[in-house]
A = this chain, B = another copy of it.
Amino acid sequence: MASGIPETGRALRTLVTENGTVEVSVQEAPIPELGPGDVLVRVEAAPVNPSDLGILFAGADMSAATVSGSWEQPVLTAPLSPGAVRALAARVGKPLPAGNEGAGTVVAAGASDAAQALIGRAVAVAGGGMYADYRRADAAQCLVLPADVTPRQGASSFINPMTALGMVETMRREGHTGLVHTAAASNLGQMLNRVCAEDKIPLVNIVRSAAQEEILRALGAEYVCNSTSPAFAAELTAALEATSATLAFDAVGGGELAGTILGCMEAAAAKDAPGYSVYGTTTRKQVYIYGGLDRGPTIVHRTFGLTWGLGGWLLTPFLQTIGPDRFRELRERVGAGLTTTFASSYTQEVSLAGALQPEAVAAYTRQATGEKFVIAPQSG
C-alpha cells in the first residue's frame, strides 16, 4: 500500500433488520487489499441518483425516519411495511454498500501496468459502493477523466449519460424513429434533449408543470407537453403525429400516463392508417417504464388495439446486449462530452454524515426537478 493511505475509511452502509426497519449509517472499515489489476480511488464526488434510493432506503417510509448517534456517526432508522420486509428477505441482516457511481483520484494501484498507469489520475467508477472515502476498483472499469474535467464534473458519467444513450440505442435497435420521455425536465431529461438535438432525433417531452415546460423550452426543446393541461391528450397526439415517435421511456410508472401515451400514439397512427380495423393500427407502440416516481399501480385503458407493448427497462442488462465494442463507443462519447452534452449540475453538496441528516434526506428523496445532491466524502 502506498504511503499516505490510511488503514481504514468510512462508508455508508444500509441494513434491513429483523425488526422491520432499515438502518443507514456511517461505518469505519479497513481499506481493502488491492489485486494486481486494482486501483484505490479516493472518492471525491458521488451523486444521489433516483436509482440509489432503493438500495439506501429499501422503500421504507421516510416520513417516519429518525436519526440517532453523533454528527459524525449518525444512524438513520426508518420503518418498513410488513410486505416490504418479506420482499427484502434476502437483505435482512446483511449490511450493503451504496452509491452507484462517482469519481475521485487514484491514490494507490496494484502491480499491473494498467493499474500503475492510473496513479494520480482522476477517474470515474460505476458499480456500487461509491458513498465511501475509498473504493477499490478494477483499473479496466475506470473511465479516465480528461485533464480538464474534475471528479465532481465526472461523478455522474455513467448512469444518466448511459441511460440517455441507451434510450436512443434502444430506439434504433427496435426500429423506432422518435422518442417520448416523461419527467422530461429532470437532469436526465435535459441530457436526453441535448443528445437528441445532436443526433437529430425527434423527442416529445412530457412534463407536469409550467415551470418544467419553461426549463425545456429554454433549452430549445421543440415538443413539450404538460400533462396537467386540460388538452393534454390532444396536444400529445399532435406532437406524436408531427414526430412519428412510437417509443416512450417513462420514469413515472404509476397511474394512467403510460396508457395515455399508448392511446395517443394509436390516435396519431390512425390518422395515417388506411381503413378501419377492430384490432387497431399495425403501428408498433412501446412504452418502457424505467423509474417509479409514482409507486402506485399502472392503470392501462386498452383503447389502442393489440399492437402495443409495455415493459420494464433497466440499463445494465440493456448494455449487456449491445456488445463490448458498442459499449466502448458510447463510453467514449460520454467521456468527450462531460462538460457539455453530458454535464450534470448539483444544487447541494453534503458529506457522508451530512447525507443522513433529516433535511438532506427529505430534500433528495423528494426527487424534485432541478434539485440534485452530490456526496463529497472528503468534505467532512
- The interface of chain A, by Cβ under 8 A from chain B, is 54-55, 58, 87-88, 90-91, 253-254, 259, 275-276, 278-279, 282, 289-290, 292, 297-303, 305-314, 317
With contacts A306-B313, A310-B311 known, what are 5 further pairs, Cβ within 8 A?
Answer: A282-B317, A298-B300, A302-B312, A305-B314, A309-B312
Q: How far does the Cβ of A111 sit from chain B's closest Cβ, in whole Å? A: 31
**Interchain CB contact under 8 A, A302 and B292:** yes
Q: Which of B54, B55, B303 contacts A87 (CB 8 A)?
A: B303
**Interchain CB contact under 8 A, A311 and B309:** yes
**Interchain CB contact under 8 A, A90 and B301:** no
A282 contact set on B, CB distance < 8 A: 317
Q: Provided the pairs A90-B275, A297-B301 are in contact, do residues A311 and B308 lie with their beta carbons within 8 angstroms? A: yes
Closest to A290 in B: B306
A290 contact set on B, CB distance < 8 A: 306
A302 contact set on B, CB distance < 8 A: 253-254, 289, 292, 297-298, 312
Q: How far does the Cβ of A143 sit from chain B's closest Cβ, in whole Å? A: 22
A91 contact set on B, CB distance < 8 A: 276
**Interchain CB contact under 8 A, A305 and B312:** yes
Can you identify 20 A-B contacts, CB atoms within 8 angstroms?
A: A54-B278, A87-B303, A91-B276, A253-B302, A279-B314, A289-B302, A298-B302, A299-B299, A299-B300, A300-B300, A300-B310, A302-B312, A305-B312, A305-B314, A306-B312, A307-B312, A307-B317, A308-B312, A309-B309, A311-B311
Q: Which 6 A-B pairs have the closest CB atoms?
A: A306-B312, A90-B276, A309-B311, A54-B278, A306-B314, A298-B300
Closest to A312 in B: B306
Closest to A267 in B: B87
Q: CA A310 – CA B297 in complex, angstroms?
A: 14
Closest to A289 in B: B302
Closest to A266 in B: B87
A310 contact set on B, CB distance < 8 A: 300, 309-311
Q: Which of B299, B307, B311 contacts A314 (CB 8 A)?
A: B307
A253 contact set on B, CB distance < 8 A: 302
Closest to A275 in B: B90
A298 contact set on B, CB distance < 8 A: 259, 299-300, 302
Q: CA A300 – CA B58 in complex, angstroms?
A: 21
A279 contact set on B, CB distance < 8 A: 54, 314
Q: CA A58 – CA B55 in complex, angstroms?
A: 49
Q: CA A30 – CA B194 in complex, angstroms?
A: 62
Q: CA A8 – CA B363 in complex, angstroms?
A: 77
Closest to A317 in B: B282
A305 contact set on B, CB distance < 8 A: 312, 314
Q: How far does the Cβ of A85 sit from chain B's closest Cβ, in whole Å? A: 13
Q: CA A289 – CA B304 in complex, angstroms?
A: 12
Q: How far does the Cβ of A275 sit from chain B's closest Cβ, in whole Å? A: 6
